[in-house]
Amino acid sequence: MTPLRDCMPRWCLVLAGLALSAAAAANDGGLYRDVEDYRLRHESQIVAELAALASVRSVASDRAGLAAAADLLVTRLRERGFEATQWSVPGAAPLVFGTLNGSEAKRTVVFYAHYDGQPVTPSQWSSDPFVPNLHSALPATPANQVNWKSAQPVLDREWRLFGRAVADDKASIVAFLAAFDALKAAGRKPSVNVKVVWEGEEEAGSAHLAQFLRDHQAQLASDLWLIGDGPVHQSGRAMLYFGARGVLGLRLTVYGPIKALHDGHYGNWVPNPAALAAQLIAQMRASDGTILIPGVSEGVRALTPEERSAIAQLPSVDDSLKREFGIGAAEGHEGLALSLMRPALNVRGLRSGQVGDASANAIPTDAEISIDFRLVPDQTPQRVRTAVERFLSSAGWTLVADAPDEAARLAHPRLLRVEWESGYPALRSSMSSGAARAVISSETRAARGPVALVPMIGASVPLYLFAEIFHQPVIGLPIVNYDDNQHAANENLRLGNLWDGIQTYAFMLADLDW
């Protein structure tokens, strides 16, 4: 292996970039070239495999679509020699479990991804979200459309495949399968024992994941979990992540009069719920995003020097993202990467009365606030919830779980409906465990260049659950483009990311060793 193993942890990350990127091509025993050769000969076939999987309507509202996707994945694994099955729990989409027998490697790795996609609003899409189509550029107009079945290899790395779940996460599944095929074609054996967990309800909140994992704890025994979810760094650089923020959703409703009242006749006397909601938000969150609620940020674990060092080495994308997003300045001054290491209070939505031409001279009847908290170690949803409720009570609000009746309204001047969504904590795990160093090393060779090492992504993935149940390293292994419109209309995958993703999976399967 590499000199990486013997260095002090905080310097390893530097060395990974310096030493390995230069040496990568020479160090992989021809693996990269073998995989590339295979891919170049099978590009259309790989895209077709992804398109076939993405045409299955595996979204939460379509039980038959979820079942069909699970069936298809079991078939795909068995075709490749896996022992594959579906696990079921009442009310849950099936979980596809696969294991490759006959390998006697020292280490076992579980490759996780999810095969369900976010719900779709077809009217917002340029074309049917379940009829995947390829375009030479953004946006997905007819003029940009290309037919990969008749296209001559090599397909352009910048072409994009559109369809629900093509990026999130079906690309990871197909990259895994294609990598496996490439290894087989080159006569290479995996360097680790391989298990596969493909979940079917991640986009619906992974409500049964804990139960699946606990019910099958022995079968899932491993030395490492690799999580094939999320996009790579905005710089386009390959990326690994070692944690993810947790999340906790909150809906607040402030009550005004039971009917909208003329604000000339009653303004200054009848409480204005829109103004109260605004004051409430201003009390909870400073303009740089700092959460002002006492106790919410209690127990926030400081970044380690290793984590700080990794963040300092991330390519800066702040200026280009500002241009892309049309923003003149960021909320704080610490830069994007560091800002995501803090807890966040995001206002997702506000609604009270009417605005624009529809606005009437009226005091609204209520105001609704939609919030999510992004949690960091060692915050817990329960402690955040307790701190928020204590704060709201101390600010003079009477908290209720349901819409209040007239008696409650009259008895309590400031009524606030508080509805918590389910949530889960964050995880930030070691970047210098043996497994972590091996993954960094293999991914650096797969990427043939430096890898963005992110201690914790800002978005929420329930990494904590794998860590909590299995006490083994959990590392995020994203492959898709950051501008993939995941969760939105016109989700898309850049072909270059799929090609690079196949290399990533090939190296995790055949190069990984510790």
Q: Give me the least distance between CB of 292 and its own copies, in Å please.
A: 11
**Which is closer to its own copies, CB of 9 or CB of 267?**
267
Nearer to its own copies, 219 or 370 (CB): 370
> Cα 511 from chain centroid?
25
In angstroms, what is the minimal distance from the CB of 133 to its own copies? 22
**7 is written with which tokens?**
């260095």
Instruction: Tell the smallest beta-carbon distance from residue 372 to its own copies (Å).
Output: 6
Q: How many CB atoms lie within 10 A of CB 266?
A: 14
Nearer to its own copies, 210 or 275 (CB): 275
Judged by beta carbon, residue 151 or residue 336, the one nearer its own copies is 336
Nearest partner of 201 among 109, 67, 74, judged by Cα: 67
Type of residue numbered 471: H
Maximum distance among all Cα pairs of the chain, rounded to whole angstroms: 83
Cα 23 to Cα 2, 8, 229, 447: the distances in Å are: 10, 20, 28, 12
Give the integer Cα–Cα distance in Å for 130 and 166: 10
In the structure encoding, which two tokens stand for residue 170, read together?
């079906």
Q: SS3 for 87?
A: strand
Q: What residues are paired with 231 via a beta bridge?
A: 480
Burial (Cβ within 10 Å: 0-12, 13-18, ≥19) of residue 177: buried
Closer to its own copies at the Cβ: 317 or 512? 317
Min. distance of Cβ 229 from its own copies in angstroms? 12
Please give the C-alpha separations between residue 246 and each of 167, 209, 355, in angstroms, as whole numbers. Answer: 22, 16, 34
- Residue closest to 149 by CA, chosen among 242, 293, 43, 231: 43
Distance in angstroms (rounded) separating the CA atoms of residues 142 and 94: 36
Return d(Cα 354, Cα 362) in angstroms, integer: 9
* Closer to its own copies by Cβ: residue 294 or 349: 349
Strands annotated E in 163-291? 193-199, 224-227, 239-241, 243-255, 261-262
Q: Residue 251 corresponds to which amino acid?
A: R
- Report in angstroms how near the CB of residue 446 gets to its own copies at its nearest: 24
Q: Which is nearer to its own copies, 315 or 349 (CB)?
A: 349
Distance in Å, CB of 106 to its own copies, minimum: 36
CB of 149 to its own copies, least distance (A): 32
Pairing, β 95-99 against β 108-114 = unpaired
Residue closer to its own copies (CB basis): 91 or 328: 328
Residues 6+ away with beta carbon under 8 Å from 285 = 291, 292, 345, 347
Cβ of residue 254: shortest distance to its own copies, in angstroms? 11
Shortest distance, CB of residue 482 to its own copies, whole angstroms? Answer: 8
Q: Which is nearer to its own copies, 190 or 476 (CB)?
A: 476
For its own copies, the closer CB: 284 or 451: 284
Rank residues 197 and 261 by Cβ distance to its own copies and give the closer one. Answer: 261
What is the C-alpha separation between 109 and 224, in angstroms, rounded? Answer: 5
- Please identify which residue in the block is written with the tokens 């002002």: 292
For residues 318 and 335, the answer to whether their CB atoms sit within 8 Å is yes
CB 138 to its own copies: min, Å = 12
Nearest approach in angstroms of CB 290 to its own copies is 9
- Are 441 and 4 spatial neighbours (Cβ–Cβ below 8 Å)? yes
